[in-house]
Amino acid sequence: MRGIFTLFNFEGAKEYLPDLLRGALISVELTVSVMALSLVLGLVVALARTTRIRAIRTVSTVYIEVIRGTPALLQLFYIYFVLPAFGIKLEPFTAGVIGLTVNYAAYLSEVYRAGIQAVAKGQLEAAQALGMSRTLMMRLIILPQAIRIIVPPLGNYFISLFKDTALASIITVRELVFTGQIIAATNFQYFAIFTIIGALYLAISYPGSLGVQYLERRMKIGYRPRRVAPVGGPTRGAPQGAV
Amino acid sequence: MIRLEHVHKSFGRLPVLRGVSLEVRKGEVVCIIGPSGAGKSTLLRCINHLEGIDSGTIYIEDVPVYRFTREGKSVIDSDHRIEALRSQVGMVFQSFNLFPHFTALENVMVAPIHVRREPKEEVRRRALALMAKVGLAEKVGAYPHELSGGQQQRVAIARALAMQPKAMLFDEVTSALDPELIGEVLRVMRQLAAEGMTMIVVTHEMGFAQDVCDRVIFMADGMIVEEGAPHQIFSAPRNERTRQFLQSILERNAEMGDNPDGSLASPAR
């Protein structure tokens, strides 16, 4: 009898809720760090795959295939438990950031690549015909258009990354799930603790997915009209500020 | 100005250009007509190296370019040189290809600023003048999706002119336009021709070819079949294929009620 009541007991929550919130904060920090880094690394890998230098292309292709073909959990183990054997000892949080970044960059690079390839071929030809170099074309013409295409899928990866940060609990990063496990191991209120954890994840990721839906709708609309620039006035305010 | 010698080009095993030789002098307006699949567009695209050629030589201002043989050795121009050459030859496409994330004015300004590194204020002045020249002074701040096809194509012409090219290539620039918008684009091209611009125009607008061009080239099956002054080609074609092609165009125009008198020129344009 008593066991059942213990199961639904949320009374202790007052004591451990601050700990859980601290864990949630770590989860968010992990998400933001990994997303920021893998956005950059993913772009580098995507550009490496489109370069004319074959060796660079091969390296980036192998990287993507290895990462996508092995479990993220294993990649985290590798960085946290195997690298020390080579003299590289990392803090759990750092190892988590590196492991998840290496993982997500591989996926994001494919998103970038799809976006780059989705830019109409006529755009490349027009840029070439004007004498633009490959670099200039990429920077001024292709990437600004590709970004509009890839913002919605990137948003979805952002949300799924937030949930995937729970993987870092396995290498003792004190994020939300790890914190919950520690508390539950002392008071056995599994139901209450894991329900609160689920609610916290949902409370953060649901607004996130609403945001992505909003972005999706916005990106579909054509380029926003802008007031006609006064003759002789400045030409600022281009969406990408490139000109 | 532009010279092609024995240019061959295949896509895989399909020959598209089969030994094309052609010379366009400075200030000359040359129209290329012919059935689809004749290699007209490919020819234009080879001139600014959007397509590489398999053999033959292309000369721009008497200098061999892109890929050629010198003293028995094969020479390939550097990317940098190819880019410089392209920037001297303007090109306008059938599908406009304006940059959708830039305004009309920014489309015109982007290449001189970033490719030539010219001062922004000067480019801006020139771009505004070009927009006025193509009749779009009011539309400088508009994005391409806010413009009609005819307006977009005129911006595309201004964009090419902003690089102050030595010659202009027009690749079926009115083919994607609604009939009532063709006139405004052709008017800009006429004006350009009158100002002495060197132009190579691939077109289906026989009226334009007849009135504006100094020389008409009829292509079929990757070869130049016949060339001559417009009045000669249109009134007394020597080659049977040219005759057939013009006849079919004439019939099509008659069917659409374009020119009831049966002449090739459509005076409205």
Predicted pLDDT at B257: 60
* HEC-encoded secondary structure of A8-73: CCCCCHHHHHHHHHHHHHHHHHHHHHHHHHHHHHHHHHHHHHHCCCHHHHHHHHHHHHHHHCCCHH
- Within an 8 Å CB–CB cutoff, is residue B197 touching chain A? no
Q: Which of A151-155, A238-242, B120-124, B251-255 has the lowest mean pLDDT?
A: A238-242
Q: In which residue are the tokens 């209120």 written?
A: A189
Identify the sign of the CA torsion B243, B43, B197, B61.
negative
Predicted pLDDT at B74: 85
Predicted pLDDT at B86: 93
Contacts of B143 in chain A (CB under 8 A): 222-226
Predicted pLDDT at B253: 77
Residue B248: which residues within 8 A CB-CB, separation 6 or more? none
**B253 Cα to chain A: minimum distance (Å):** 30
Residue B128's CB is within 10 A of a number of other CB atoms, namely 19
Residue B184's CB is within 10 A of a number of other CB atoms, namely 20
The Cα angle at residue B220 between residues B219 and B224, in degrees rounded to 5:
40
User: What digits encode the pLDDT tens for the residues A189-237?
Assistant: 888 899 999 999 999 999 999 998 888 888 765 555 444 444 443 443 3
Residue A25's CB is within 10 A of a number of other CB atoms, namely 13
8-state DSSP, B139: G
Percentage of the residues of chain A whose pLDDT score is greater than 90: 71
A166: helix, coil or strand?
A: helix
Residue A33 has pLDDT above 50, yes or no: yes
Spatial distance between the Cα atoms of B158 and B153, rounded to a whole number of angstroms: 9
User: What digits encode the pLDDT tens for the residues B54-63?
Assistant: 999 999 998 8
Query: Could B142 and A225 be called an inter-chain contact, meaning their C-beta atoms sit closer than 8 Å?
Result: yes
Query: Could you tell me the pLDDT band of residue A27, with boundaries at 50, 70 and 90?
Result: very high
Q: Answer left, alpha or beta for residue A230, where phi above 0 means left and psi between -120 and 50 means alpha.
A: beta
Query: Could A122 and B113 be called an inter-chain contact, meaning their C-beta atoms sit closer than 8 Å?
Result: no
**B44 Cα to chain A: minimum distance (Å):** 11
8-state DSSP, A219: H
Predicted pLDDT at A225: 43
Predicted pLDDT at B186: 94
Measuring CA to CA, how many Å separate A217 from each of A151, A198, A222, B145? 11, 28, 11, 17
Segment B30-55 mean pLDDT: 93
Whether the CB-CB separation of B171 and B94 falls below 8 Å is answered with yes
Q: Nearest residue of B to residue A139 by CA position?
A: B114
Spatial distance between the Cα atoms of A139 and A124, rounded to a whole number of angstroms: 12
Query: Could B100 and A129 be called an inter-chain contact, meaning their C-beta atoms sit closer than 8 Å?
Result: no
Number of A–B residue contacts, CB under 8 Å: 109
A133 is written with which tokens? Answer: 């170099």
- Within an 8 Å CB–CB cutoff, is residue A2 touching chain B? no
**A210 Cα to chain B: minimum distance (Å):** 26
User: What digits encode the pLDDT tens for the residues B92-148?
Assistant: 999 999 999 999 999 999 999 999 999 999 999 999 999 999 999 999 999 999 999
User: What digits encode the pLDDT tens for the residues A78-90?
Assistant: 999 999 999 999 9
Whether the CB-CB separation of A197 and A177 falls below 8 Å is answered with yes
Predicted pLDDT at A220: 67
B86 is written with which tokens? Answer: 């392209």
Residue B168: which residues within 8 A CB-CB, separation 6 or more? B89, B90, B91, B92, B157, B160, B161, B192, B197, B198, B199, B200
Query: Could you tell me the pLDDT band of residue A7, with boundaries at 50, 70 and 90?
Result: low
Looking from the CA of B78 toward its CB, the CA atoms found within 13 Å total 3
Spatial distance between the Cα atoms of A26 and A180, rounded to a whole number of angstroms: 13
Residue of B85, B101, B159 lying closest to A144 (CB–CB): B101
List of long-range contacts for B129-133, beta carbons under 8 Å, 24+ apart: B130/B158, B130/B161, B130/B162, B131/B104, B131/B105, B131/B155, B131/B158, B133/B158, B133/B161, B133/B188, B133/B191
- Within an 8 Å CB–CB cutoff, is residue B13 touching chain A? no
> What interhelical angle do A13-50 and A54-68 show, nearest 10?
150
Predicted pLDDT at B261: 47
ipTM: 0.88
Measuring CA to CA, how many Å separate B255 from each of A93, B30, B35, B179? 76, 28, 18, 15
B11 is written with which tokens? Answer: 């896509």
**B24 Cα to chain A: minimum distance (Å):** 19
- Within an 8 Å CB–CB cutoff, is residue A231 touching chain B? yes
Residue A158 has pLDDT above 60, yes or no: yes
Segment B43-56 mean pLDDT: 93
- Within an 8 Å CB–CB cutoff, is residue B77 touching chain A? no
Q: What is the pTM of this model?
A: 0.81
Contacts of B91 in chain A (CB under 8 A): 129
Residue A186 has pLDDT above 70, yes or no: yes
> What interhelical angle do B179-194 and B149-161 show, nearest 10?
20
Spatial distance between the Cα atoms of B155 and B244, rounded to a whole number of angstroms: 36
User: What digits encode the pLDDT tens for the residues A50-83?
Assistant: 888 999 999 999 999 999 999 999 999 999 999 9
Average pLDDT of chain B is 91
- Within an 8 Å CB–CB cutoff, is residue B232 touching chain A? no
Over its C-alpha atoms, chain B yields an Rg (Å, rounded) of: 19
Predicted pLDDT at B251: 84
